[in-house]
Amino acid sequence: MMSTSVPDPRLKGRAVDRIAFSEQAIADRCRVLGGEITAAYPDGELLVLGLLKGSFIFLADLVREIERPLHVDFLVASSYGNATVSSGTVRLLYDPETSLEGKHLLLVEDIVDSGRTLQHLVTLLQARRPASIAICALLHKRIATELQHRVRFVGFDAPPVFLVGYGLDHAEDFRHVPYVASLAT
């Protein structure tokens, strides 16, 4: 990671602590991931499902690096609420219009933290009888105790701090920041 002291007008007066992943590093990684995904799906219908809102920028960059036919749709999952409560389950507030049966699903997420969101979503989507389900996350904190499925495609292992930018928010701020950073307190 590198330090920066350059003020960024997108940050509402906050200062960057560290840029964890630069625009260039993310672009380079998207190209490699896109190549891996292209190679991983030789045939069949591929539906890339972005988990809103956090995945919107990553998905837009990633799909342009996947050199095969595919469709794009999105999911909006309800939050499981209080993070200390593990009994909650997710509901879909927006559900893809298309049938998922027989399709290869690639779930695209911004960051895997506890893994709870993805655990519930994969279980829910498996009931729709897709041909396969794989997870692609830009960032993985590697602390997910609740996820029984592997994250097949990972952009970067993330440091154990709160990150913003490139889709990731803090109270809806900073999603449009083109790099991933931690903010100074």
> Which stretches of the chain bind ligand IMP, using CB under 6 A?
54, 109-117, 162-163, 168
Single out the catalytic residue among 8, 110, 113, 173: 113
Give the number of other CB atoms < 10 A from CB of residue 89: 13
CB of 112 to ligand IMP, least distance (A): 5
23 vs 169 by CB, closer to ligand IMP: 169
Question: Smallest distance from the beta carbon of 144 to ligand IMP, in angstroms?
Answer: 6
Q: Taking a C-beta distance cutoff of 8 angstroms, is the pair 162, 110 a contact?
A: no
113 assigned to active site: yes
Closest CB to ligand IMP among 38 and 123? 123
Nearest to ligand IMP of 63, 139 (CB atom)? 139
Of 181, 173, 185, 182, the residue nearest 10 (C-alpha)? 173
Q: Which residue number has the CB closest to ligand IMP?
A: 114
Q: How far is the CB of 36 from ligand IMP (least distance, A)?
A: 22
Active site residues: 113
